[in-house]
């Protein structure tokens, strides 16, 4: 038992170890910084564990997701199939495809206020027809508006459904390659990420209505307009609302028959060096070479990652110098930081601050800034209980469902609260898809019906608050 648990933990560390970005650039937030005093020391770097294990690990190819399936000895018992729910989900397929066509054919890049307004208006109308109170509110600094819907039921449980309206594609993309179907694959900008998820939420809600199901306390929906750029205008509401929930279900696309129980946090570590300019030919000794000091610090900080904890720190951009004959007085470097343990970011920052206090070039200053963009959705028991419930529902359909840790960051990171039992967060409930953020993106239409069924039954069972669906520890 102990051993298999440790193996699982190691697997997560491996899975999140070298997980690389697949999200677009994100706005800067959460900065904190420190400037070290100039130092006249010219001593070399303090010896540290000077292996290049981190860099090596980060550049080693790893699977895009790590399986977190229970050991084979742990039997996952299927939940009996609800035939009436499955029949209703099946009957929704054609309508689902019609709505998906409509949404995919509307451009809604994160900076496209007009396109996002059209998509939001579509969602707003649908949600009102389904009986929700709907609010469409600005989400500054983002261009688009956020759609929030509230359904009030007869029970006590609170649930939040999350999906995003924006895509990574610019204006004109939908006209260039409109929605199309080949076999059981659908193509078009955002078809899986995340138009497929938005439409899935709408149809799961429609089925709840068809079944006259209102046993939840409050069922909320957020469709945000800026997930692809870090949710800077939505993250506060997602976090505040999530804190009141028993469960948060997020509808990003999984890459197969999977649900996501952990995602990485993303941050940037920035170094800014100030030196003194001087002519490189006639008076180099009067200069203080910022580029040289930066190179020194990059080498000192290269091992800040922690393989065991799945933390990576990789310098990806260095800048210095404008003229070939001038000793540069400015230099800057940025490292991409990925982490799955929420405490790791402060550890990385503190270590960086300590390390940059020792300089190679006298009279230079080195400023360390940490830009926290997206917190991790760390592995936790409540999410795993929810994943188990999802697996049991899927098994009832004769399909396996694998819980995985994914390499990217999503809104689940803003919903997850480290150290709290609630909400139980589950990610990856959207339509199955691959090739996200590329023109090859496709959605697996075979997953439409089982995924509508899964969302519907999850909402029903969590609302019922019975033993099967409890998200809190006993």
Residues carrying an active site annotation: 166, 227
Contact 304, 351 (CB under 8 A): yes
**Contact by Cβ (8 Å): 365, 399:** no
- Shortest Å distance, C-beta 202 to Zn ion: 16
> Which CB sits closer to Zn ion, 193 or 306?
193
Binding string, 138-177, against Zn ion, x = CB under 5 A? ----------------------------------------
CB of 196 to Zn ion, least distance (A): 10
State the minimum distance, in angstroms, from the CB of residue 12 to Zn ion: 22
Q: Please say whether the beta carbons of 228 and 374 come within 8 A.
A: no
d(CA 280, CA 26): 38
Q: In this chain, which stretch among 176-184, 185-193, 229-237, 272-280 interacts with Zn ion, using CB under 5 A?
A: 185-193
Q: How many residues does the chain have?
A: 474
**Is the C-alpha dihedral spanning 202, 206, 212, 213 positive or negative?**
negative
Which span (99-107, 250-258, 329-337, 419-427) binds Zn ion, by CB under 5 A?
A: 250-258
**Cβ 194 to Zn ion shortest distance, Å:** 4
Q: Are the beta carbons of 227 and 474 closer than 8 angstroms?
A: no
Beta strand 258-263 with 402-406: parallel, antiparallel or unpaired?
parallel
> Toward Zn ion, which CB reaches closer, 163 or 462?
163
Query: What is the helix (H) or strand (E) element at residue 393, kind and residue range?
Result: helix 381-396
Binding mask 188-207 for Zn ion (x = CB under 5 A): -----xx-------------
Q: Is 237 exposed, middle or buried (0-12, 13-18, 19+ CB in 10 A)?
A: middle
370 vs 406, which CB is nearer to Zn ion? 406
Q: How far is the CB of 13 from Zn ion (least distance, A)?
A: 25
One character per residue 430-459, x = contact with Zn ion (rule: CB under 5 A): ------------------------------
Query: Of 225, 250, 220, 240, which Cα lies nearest the Cα of 139?
Result: 225
The nearer residue to Zn ion, 162 or 269, going by C-beta atoms, is 162
Task: Tell which positions 316-345 bind Zn ion, by CB under 5 A.
Answer: none
DSSP 168: S
Give min distance, CB of 373 to Zn ion, in A. 15
Using alpha carbons, select from 44, 62, 348, 24 the residue that is nearest to residue 167.
24
Q: Which stretch binds Zn ion (CB under 5 A): 214-222, 251-259, 284-292, 316-324?
A: 251-259
Q: Which two tokens stand for residue 471?
A: 């998200």
306 or 427: CB nearest Zn ion: 427
Strands 218-224 and 158-164: parallel
Binding site for Zn ion (CB under 5 A): 193-194, 252
């Amino acid at each position: 038992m102990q051993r298999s648990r440790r193996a699982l933990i190691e697997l997560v560390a491996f899975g999140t170890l070298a997980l690389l970005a697949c999200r677009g650039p994100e706005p800067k937030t959460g900065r904190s910084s420190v400037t070290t005093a100039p130092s006249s020391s010219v001593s070399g770097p303090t010896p540290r564990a000077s292996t290049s294990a981190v860099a090596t690990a980060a550049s080693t190819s790893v699977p895009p997701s790590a399986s977190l399936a229970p050991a084979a000895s742990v039997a996952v018992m299927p939940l009996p199939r609800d035939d009436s729910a499955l029949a209703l989900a099946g009957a929704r397929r054609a309508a689902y495809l019609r709505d998906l066509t409509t949404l995919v054919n509307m451009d809604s890049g994160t900076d496209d206020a007009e396109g996002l307004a059209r998509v939001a208006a579509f969602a707003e109308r649908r949600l009102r027809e389904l009986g929700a109170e709907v609010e469409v509110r600005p989400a500054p600094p983002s261009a688009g508006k956020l759609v929030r819907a509230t359904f009030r039921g007869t029970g006590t449980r609170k649930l939040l459904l999350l999906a995003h309206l924006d895509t990574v594609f610019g204006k004109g993309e939908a006209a260039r390659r409109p929605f199309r179907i080949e076999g059981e694959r659908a193509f078009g900008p955002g078809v899986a990420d995340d138009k497929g998820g938005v439409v899935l939420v709408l149809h799961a809600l429609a089925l709840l209505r068809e079944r006259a199901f209102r046993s939840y306390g409050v069922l909320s929906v957020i469709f945000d307009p800026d997930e692809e750029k870090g949710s800077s205008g939505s993250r506060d509401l997602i976090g505040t609302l999530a804190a009141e929930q028993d469960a948060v279900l997020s509808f990003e696309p999984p890459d197969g028959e999977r649900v996501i129980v952990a995602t990485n946090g993303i941050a940037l570590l920035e170094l800014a060096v100030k030196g003194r300019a001087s002519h490189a030919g006639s008076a180099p000794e009067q200069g203080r070479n910022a580029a040289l000091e930066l190179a020194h610090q990059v080498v000192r900080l290269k091992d800040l990652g922690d393989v065991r904890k799945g933390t990576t720190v990789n310098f990806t951009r260095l800048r210095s110098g404008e003229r070939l004959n001038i000793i540069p007085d400015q230099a800057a470097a940025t490292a991409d930081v990925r982490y799955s343990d929420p405490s790791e970011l402060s550890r990385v920052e503190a270590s960086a601050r300590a390390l940059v206090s020792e300089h190679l070039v006298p009279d230079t200053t080195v400023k360390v800034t940490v830009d926290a963009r997206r917190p991790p959705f760390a592995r936790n028991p409540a999410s795993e209980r929810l994943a188990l419930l999802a697996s049991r529902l899927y098994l009832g359909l004769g399909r396996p469902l694998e819980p995985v840790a994914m390499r990217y960051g999503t809104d689940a990171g803003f919903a997850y609260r480290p150290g709290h039992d609630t909400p139980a967060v589950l990610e990856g409930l959207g339509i199955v898809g691959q090739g996200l953020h590329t023109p090859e993106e496709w959605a697996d239409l075979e997953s439409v019906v089982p995924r509508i069924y899964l969302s519907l039954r999850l909402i029903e069972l969590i609302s019922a608050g019975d033993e099967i669906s409890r998200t809190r520890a006993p």
